[in-house]
Structure 1
Amino acid sequence: MAAHTVSDDVTVRLTEDVYQDQFEWAALVNDVADSIGSETSDNTAKDLVKLLLSMAGRDLVKLHRLVEVVQDRIEMQSTWAATAAAKFYCALLDSIDSDLELDVSFGDTLLGERIVIKYILDISGDFVNRPDWGTKPIAILKLTRNLLDRCSLYGQYASAAGLLAHGLLERMSQSVYLFFADNFDIFALFAYAMVPILDGTERNGNSERVNSMLKALKKADYERTELQHFQIEGLFICLDRSNLYREHDSVSSTPEWVSRVESVQKMVIRPKVEVNLPLFATMSDWKHPSISCMIQHASQAMRIDAPRSTQTATLDMFQAMVHSEHLFSNKNLQTLIE
């Protein structure tokens, strides 16, 4: 049996000290968070957070633990999350050392407030790795909305809040579980709330990072159902990016010679109209993006000279609406008449 050494005792004591230190640090962070409420002034919140940061120094482990404690609190206490969490983080973003560095890859580092955003995403953005996101995202999505609203209002930290919103949108859009359970609805609702704010921060009123995210979502190389295609198109439409969706859908036909004139007239083939008739039987509210965009798509394609296939598909859609048991639910009859 190996002899018991002094170094063994030292190792045990050091380990115990580390655990005790982390426990006490978490308790202190909770105490400070307790002291920040809806009535707390911004200056008071900033002073309290500065006190925490002075104790953490340049210890990134403590900073990570601080964010972890705050995120746990946000998930467990909805009232605090709605009223004070954004105030806490605004104070943190304002007070953190802008020269604090975190190495994330070879030659690549994050500084100051970007470290905080990374920690928030790493800690609370892991829900995208589960088949059913459930209610897990509600806390982080609510925080992001409140933080972005607050940053837009005061004109500070908008960049950091925007990074958080963009990061969450990209993580959700890239998740292999996006179309599982109600996950796409969660993603879409968050996008509807966030994208107009993100667009508003751009000079041209259009976020290029959102555009890139949506293009990548549309081009993802795995098979999708017809419903999923309609959901994605509906998202583009609701985010005022119909042109972006159709950008690569136009196909030029074979040039047609105009009578007795040797010139070529460019023509564009109308996109094929596809309808998902079971939707009218299974969904009670036809204002849902997946249905409304399908109706809009068919209506736009219908012309006097529309191809027979388009006319047939549109007629089938109207018949499915008329015979649906949900015709008189919500405002579905009005949708049909319109």
Structure 2
Amino acid sequence: MASPLTALGVSAPVLAAPMAGGPSTPALVTAAARADGLGFLAGGYKPADALARQIAEVRSTGVSFGVNLFAPNPVPVDPEAFRRYARTIAPEAEAYGIDVLSAGVVEDDDRWADKIDLLLSTPVPVVSFTFGIPEPAVLAALRAAGTVIVQTVTSPAEARQAAEAGADMLTVQASAAGGHSGTLTPQHIPASIPLPDLLAQVRQAVSLPLVAAGGLATPADVSAALRAGATALAVGTVLLRADEAGTSPPYRAALADPARHRTVVTRAFTGRPARALHNTFTDRYTDLAPPGYPALHHLTSPLRKAATAAGDPERINLWSGTGHRHATAEPAAQILRRLTP
């Protein structure tokens, strides 16, 4: 695999994608590395000290690894739309004793500066970014610290922007991917383009090495992405039931539930487009949720946490790509090796 990852000892093309909110654990990242690939710690939603502890845990194993951050790219919410949506979901929250009607609008940057300071003071082998492209000065500082920089893109235009900013590699994310879209224009739902076609389009736009992502769940999917020009592939959904994943019990059960056969792209949980297994919350509120990230994320977070604790899959974000049927309960290394051509 001819890419900046080769020098890090990465010989297998299938990598473990970052999955914020719990599924990505140090154990999962280490398992991916020991399967000759690479895993990413998910820095999203974590304070810098918690991320530092996870970095130290993985570093102690002696493997190469990456860290993913949400780069600032806010979608300011319309205050009246926010209040209207709070009133709409209030009955769901009240069932768990949560008052969303008095919730204020929170527009934060996920502790961006603290995390960049952490990664500059204790550099890691690879850092990937999603949601936005950091300022070139940030990328230059990380590169000077010896870090390989990977930027998530969803179109040829975004790929050109990332290349101009100074990325070393690009993760090309198709709309089939589970969880949040990395689109730089989250006010719009990204077009549904098959991953091999998107890779071909990006390959024409830039010459950087490409990591394919989105809907990769079978060896055939992996082979098709490699033929389309990817040098590596990042899988997430197929690892959600892995032994080492931190996926919650109701989330795991939902992935194994044959009745959950459909995924949807929704803003209902966070105000930003994300693909999830359908449930009561997505069915009721996908068409009613306004754009607004991170405001809607903070609004619904207490409800989602309470529902998870109660084992209620109907009111939690069941992030999932289109290949969710292939998620299996077994060691991560077995999953990754099965996908490797």
* Structure with greater Cα Rg: 1
Higher strand share: 2
Same fold (TM over 0.5): no
Higher helix share: 1
Q: What TM-score do you get using the length of structure 2 for normalisation? A: 0.22
Q: What TM-score do you get using the length of structure 1 for normalisation? A: 0.23
